[in-house]
Amino acid sequence: MCKFCYPILLNKVTEAPSKAQQKWQNITGKAIDNWEELYLIPRKCTMNIAIQNFQFKLLHNCIPTNDILYKIGIIETSTCTFCHSAPESVLHIFWLCEETQAFLGKVHKWLQDCFGENFIYNMSIFLLGNDELSPIQNCMLILAKKYIYNCRVNGKLPSFKHFLNTVNKIHEVEKYIFRLRQRPRQYESRWLNVILEP
């Protein structure tokens, strides 16, 4: 190994995980060593700043959920906005909640219709993204999480039909931007497999 690269690599290996990274390792139950790739996914998968920011906040553990809001005295109960039967943590609202799981079951079926039956993801991939997925696949996973969070904020249960409307709106905006930038082929190849009809 070159003598210039080794100190850089050593520094990277010995760098302690941040508090947010440690929390994600606890949630997923595994050591995560590709944070740089995970932080790049939002920028690679969409031009939409609101979608990028959402995933960036999630990765940095800056999405407020009822367990935290209760802890700091802002609200009177920590229970989940959707099911009212468990504390609302990040893991609960975005994955474990039965209402979320019912919604995600439909999202998963739709994603398999779009990208093929081999498109399978686990909790860790859904929450953090995966640099082996295509940009549009990562984008759809972020959109599903952002939609779940919007439902939580508005006190409504996630609905697949409503989610598909959201995807359609995002699609229209991207189509417009790609057209403005005169990149029709890039737009077509990106959205080619996404089924936008109910």
Residues of this chain that interact with Zn ion (CB under 5 A) are 80, 82-83, 97
Residue with tokens 């995970």: 38
Alpha helices, H only, the chain: 5-14, 19-28, 35-45, 49-59, 66-71, 90-91, 98-115, 123-128, 135-154, 160-180, 184-191
Q: Which residues contact 52 (CB under 8 A, 6 or more apart)?
A: 42, 43, 46
- By beta-carbon proximity to Zn ion, the closer residue of 152 and 190 is 152
Q: How far is the CA of 120 from the CAs of 125, 189, 196, in angstroms?
A: 9, 21, 20
- By beta-carbon proximity to Zn ion, the closer residue of 97 and 167 is 97
Q: How far is the CB of 164 from Zn ion (least distance, A)?
A: 22
Q: Which residues contact 9 (CB under 8 A, 6 or more apart)?
A: 1
Q: How far is the CB of 66 from Zn ion (least distance, A)?
A: 10
Q: How far is the CB of 158 from Zn ion (least distance, A)?
A: 11
- By beta-carbon proximity to Zn ion, the closer residue of 80 and 144 is 80
Q: How far is the CB of 86 from Zn ion (least distance, A)?
A: 5
- By beta-carbon proximity to Zn ion, the closer residue of 66 and 138 is 66
Q: What's the chain's Rg over C-alpha atoms?
A: 18
Q: How far is the CB of 105 from Zn ion (least distance, A)?
A: 15
- By beta-carbon proximity to Zn ion, the closer residue of 32 and 86 is 86
End-to-end, the C-alpha distance of the chain in Å comes to: 54
